[in-house]
Amino acid sequence: MQDNGKPKIELGLEGVYFTESGICKVDGVNGRLYYYGYSIETLAENSNFEEVCYLLLNGRLPNAAELSGFRNSLAQERPLPDEVAGLIEDSPKDAHPMDVLRSAVSVMALYDPDANDNSDAANMRKSIRLVSRLASAVGAIGGCRNGIGYVKPDSSMGAAGNFFYMLTGKKPDAEAVKVLDLMLLLHAEHSSNASTFSGIVTAATLSDLYSAVTSAIGTLKGPLHGGADQAALEMMHAIGRPENTEVYINDALAGKKKIMGFGHRVYKTYDPRARIIKNRLEILQGSANEEVRNLTSIALAAEKLMIDKLGSSHGIWPNVDFFSGPVYTDLGIPDYLFTPLFAASRIPGWCAHVMQYWKSNRLVRPLEYYNGELDTQYVPISQR
């Protein structure tokens, strides 16, 4: 309690711990990120998305036989139920892709025999299905939007390769698959972020995994969370040319407008994922087409300006969202799929946290301080 008898309100639950976990460590002071103790730099250099999915769901890295079996399980679950594919095909073409994805996940539950079985074994089976099918669903949404329709998934490919195949109907370029696999890996987990927390809140009522993931997708849709990479790219398009960057940034800061892709609730220094993606941007400056080179030049110019103005003084640094847009653009991925791809990346983290929380489940029920009137007199409607 404060001196006036009012409890201290932590807006946005900032700085409040609600559980403990060994899944992910976000060191916001030193700019470090770990999945089960492995640094993100180590995983980005040596691992891949499927292996990281196994790590997050099982708490350890697999041996060769285990990874092969896990990949086979993912491949077997990659096809979408006909009803889910039909929903995606029949969705209005102007519907928000995250709304389509959220609805698709809800429909997936209707055709999963394990949907309401909350045993450990059933939840692991559902996690594997969700990891595999979310990537297929996002590819299907893209394919239906770009006019080629629903392309049945290719179970011989991994998540990244199959996504490209469903998006374009063509076998993907190996280098593009490698880059997208890295992006999926970097977004796979990030502790108790907003979407993970909302999934846990749903799961804590002893609801089911599909309901928890649906909640998480709804939370991820917002521009202050998963939609930030698309918003950052839209800003780069608004800037237009690298030489316009300084004027745009100065005007935005003077008008107290938020610069999307900068600042983070936890990181008070450079986001380590952003550093990894920035390396890719620097490669693109010398190899990409003119549009992408222009976007990367704007991004790097904006980064320098923002760091000079607000980095050390205000702790506002680039986060993972800022550099993602130009990389996805170079891969030929339309901006409306950025946030759905984020969901397809984050699904192993969501499932891992939900399953862990259930091991010592407690209903999430924070308090709200009431500051309204009491015993208000009711006036009949005839006298109002």
Instruction: Choose, from 208, 321, 330, 353, the residue flagged as catalytic.
Output: 321
Separation between Cα atoms, residue 287 and residue 281, nearest integer Å: 10
Q: Give the Cα separation of 272 and 93 in Å (integer).
A: 36
Catalytic, out of 264, 271, 330, 353 = 264
Active site residue 321: yes
Cβ-contact 116, 208 below 8 angstroms: yes
In the set 27, 99, 117, 225, the catalytic residue is: 225
Active site residue 353: no
Query: Is 300 in contact with 236 (CB distance < 8 Å)?
Result: no
CA pair distance 212, 202, nearest whole angstrom: 5
What are the C-alpha distances in Å from 297 to residues 180, 235, 240, 283, 291?
A: 21, 13, 11, 12, 10
DSSP-derived letter for residue 238 is H
Cα–Cα dist 285/282, whole Å: 5
Q: Is 190 an annotated catalytic residue?
A: no
Q: Identify the three-state secondary structure at position 38.
A: strand
From residue 172, alpha-carbon distances to 159, 164, 168, 180, 308 in Å are 12, 6, 8, 11, 40
The whole-angstrom separation of Cα 218 and Cα 300 is 31
Catalytic site positions:
225, 264, 321
